[in-house]
């Protein structure tokens, strides 16, 4: 089931996200996020109802949201999206379902451009973005350093 986020989901969202922080280079965050920090992030981003979660048996197993791309007003129709799925629920299509639902929300809110930023290599995320109609528009080399290695990122863009 996909539903809007609630601040009470913060602990489960932290559990999902902190796994990726500690074990991967998918996020450039390097220290685990606290529940208080996550609640604040939910409050800030969800002011426009742009954060959703995926539940199975009342357990949060994935989430997606769209944050402002930049703070200058000319960017107001562009967002950056984030999707994470619990490591134990990978490869079940949950990320794509969340993303598809989020894209519809954003379309209805008048967003024009969605940017997905992917640390590379990440074949699964690249494939999902491209299946959903995103196009690669940028590649930045060695912009992040985590787990003793330099990491590239790519940007994928979707326009309505």
Domains and CATH numbers, the chain: 2-159 (3.40.630.30)
Which residues of the chain fall short of a pLDDT of 50?
A: none
Listed in sequence order, the residues at least 6 apart from 43 whose beta carbon sits closer than 8 Å to its beta carbon are 7
What local confidence, expressed as pLDDT, does residue 72 receive? 95
- Give yes or no for a contact between 64 and 52, defined as CB atoms under 8 angstroms apart: yes
Tokens of 138: 């940028």
What local confidence, expressed as pLDDT, does residue 47 receive? 78
Instruction: Report pTM.
Output: 0.95
């Amino acid at each position: 089931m996909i539903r809007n986020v609630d601040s009470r989901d913060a602990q489960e969202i932290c559990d999902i996200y902190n796994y990726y922080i500690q074990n991967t280079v998918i996020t450039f965050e390097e220290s685990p996020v606290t529940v208080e920090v996550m609640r604040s992030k939910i409050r800030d981003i969800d002011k426009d109802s742009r954060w959703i979660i995926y539940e199975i048996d009342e357990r949060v197993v994935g989430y997606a949201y769209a944050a402002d791309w930049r703070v200058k007003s000319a960017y107001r129709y562009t967002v950056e999206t984030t999707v994470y799925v619990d490591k134990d629920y990978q490869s079940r299509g949950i990320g794509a379902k969340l993303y598809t639902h989020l894209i519809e929300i954003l379309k209805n809110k008048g967003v024009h451009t969605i940017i997905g930023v992917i640390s590379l290599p990440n074949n699964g995320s690249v494939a999902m973005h491209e299946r959903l109609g995103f196009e690669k528009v940028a590649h930045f080399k060695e912009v992040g350093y985590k787990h003793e290695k330099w990491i590239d990122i790519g940007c994928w863009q979707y326009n309505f």
